[in-house]
Amino acid sequence: MFENNHHDNIIKTKDLSVFYGSDEALHNINLDIPRNRITAIIGPSGCGKSTLIRCFNRMNDLIPSASVKGDVLYNNLNINASSVDPVQIRRQIGMVFQKPNPFPKSIYENIAFGAKINNYQGNMDELVEKSLRQAALWDEVKDEQEKSGLALSGGQQQRLCIARALATEPEVILMDEPASALDPIATLKIEELMQELKEQYTIIIVTHNMQQASRASDYTAFISMDRSRIEDRVGILVEYDLTSKIFVNPAEQETEDYISGRFG
Amino acid sequence: MPRELFQRKIKQIQDEILLLGSMVEQATLDSVMIFKNRDLQSAKTLVEDDQNINDKRFAIENAILILMATQQPLAHDLRLLASMLIVTNELERMGDYAKGIAHNTIRIGISDIPVPIRNIEKMAELAVGMLHRSLSAFINEDIKIAISIPPEDDQVDNLFNQSYRSIVNAMIANPKIIDDSSLLLWIVHNLERLADRVVNICERTVFIKSGEMLEMDGSDDELEEEF
């Protein structure tokens, strides 16, 4: 399997398999995620894309039947080790979900909330402003930070959620279909924001939208159902390469079929 | 099969490209016949009819752009549509060569100069044959045939060199014919260039199928700028 030629990989998976009960959902995933790049994960519904990124910050811990085999190394630390605090990992590897989910609180509180819980000792106003600026939302909300986060438009709410994730000063941001509920303009804003954020952060985005993956990412991983055991519906990594390679000249016929809409 | 509509539209465009190709083939053969017979009236008609080739080129280009915009082609589909744009442009330029031959025929008029007509006819025949087969290979994505065609360009180049030499020798022997004979150089040059552009079509065929840009061109592309 392709190993990206990036010298510095922030997350590496080694023979990672995920089970729900006795059902294998992902099989032997070996994937190196380059630091300060945007990596897109694409694949058909139910192939395990979300399951995979949930492994990157131990979100699967929250699903009682889920179990993980193999390793996820974050800065060479095995995050599944019993000594690792999952809350600490989630602070460093934040997540933005498909549907914007701001807290039913003010814009300001949405950002300050996590920092307060984490016992943030710095200047809260500065943290809020910095996070909102990084999420390209500051200019739109700076004069109404007391307004409810829920009063914002969908696109603004999603950027508020990104600002909230940034406020814990993570290294990695996981995005699970972050723009699928947004209109095209709001979608492009999120994608532009991702380009700015990758200067400082590593971004991993799950998307159903091929155009979004091709526009926004540097690397693309294609996950699909293992055809040799199709009734088991187990996801495998079919191809992983530079985005420019995957969408112009993929190596695998299965990738070609999927991205050109001839899947199945 | 998924994407049936898309597939059908690609097929329609491919048919149009074949039609454009046959217009160019005919124009090339006609231009040489017109030159041989110094049929100045037909030469004028051929120059005017080049507009049909240009129009068809733009119609095809437009259809390709619409497909790109509406169907978001990727991977093989993307390489195919991009290559169709390029090949359509190549064909239009080949049409210009035929027009150039007709145009130079008008300028030479009935002036009596030595003409290596056998070589010129042979060049046209070879180049048009190459073009015809290259377009079939392009549409069928037949790499084997696409790779087999470019070496034939050497024959065209040899005929060009022979013709060039004989025309120049005639000019040296009789400087009075330099004006008209130099126009004759353009005619053989256009046929030589047409064959070069066939090589580009073959390169695109390989690209569609493999994603690799394989340079097959043995001849000198910069020659055109020198002329």
DSSP letters, A54-74, are HHTTTGGGGSTTEEEEEEEEE
The confidence score (pLDDT) of residue A2 equals 58
Give the tokens for residue A48. Answer: 């395990």
pLDDT at B3: 84
* pLDDT (0 to 100) of residue A114: 85
Tell me if A255 and B77 make a contact (CB, 8 A cut-off).
Answer: no
Per-residue pLDDT, averaged over B64-73, amounts to 93
**Cβ contacts (< 8 Å) between A263 and chain B: which residues?**
2
Residue B8 CB neighbours (<10 A)? 9
Judged by a CB distance cut-off of 8 A, whether residue A214 touches chain B is yes
Q: What SS3 state is found at A94?
A: strand
> Model ipTM?
0.76
Residue A119: the pLDDT is: 86
User: What letter does residue A170 receive in the DSSP assignment?
Assistant: -
Give residue B1's pLDDT: 56
Q: Please count the structural domains in chain B.
A: 1
pTM of structure = 0.84
Question: How confident is the model over A164-195, as pLDDT tens digits?
Answer: 999 988 999 999 999 988 889 989 989 999 99
Predicted local distance difference test score (pLDDT) of residue B2 = 72
Question: How far from chain centre, in Å, is Cα A77?
Answer: 19
User: B38: phi > 0 → left, psi -120 to 50 → alpha, else beta; which?
Assistant: left
Q: Rounded mean pLDDT of chain B?
A: 94
B73 touching A (Cβ < 8 Å): yes
Beta-bridged to residue A202, according to DSSP, are A172
pLDDT at A230: 82
Per-residue pLDDT averaged across B84-98, rounded? 98
Residue B115's domain spans which residues?
Answer: 4-226
Residues in A closer than 8 angstroms to B83, CB to CB, are none
What CATH number does residue B191 fall under?
1.20.58.220
The segments of chain A whose pLDDT lies below 50 read none
- Å between B80 CA and nearest CA of chain A: 10
Q: Which amino acid is at B223?
A: L
> What is the mean pLDDT of the segment spanning B204-224?
77
Q: CB contact, 8 Å: A99 with chain B?
A: no
CATH numbers and ranges of domains, chain A: 9-258 (3.40.50.300)
DSSP state, A264? -
Contacts of B6 in chain A (CB under 8 A): 261
- Chain B contact for A264, CB < 8 A? yes
CB contact under 8 A, B79 and A255: no
CA distance B205 to chain A (A): 14
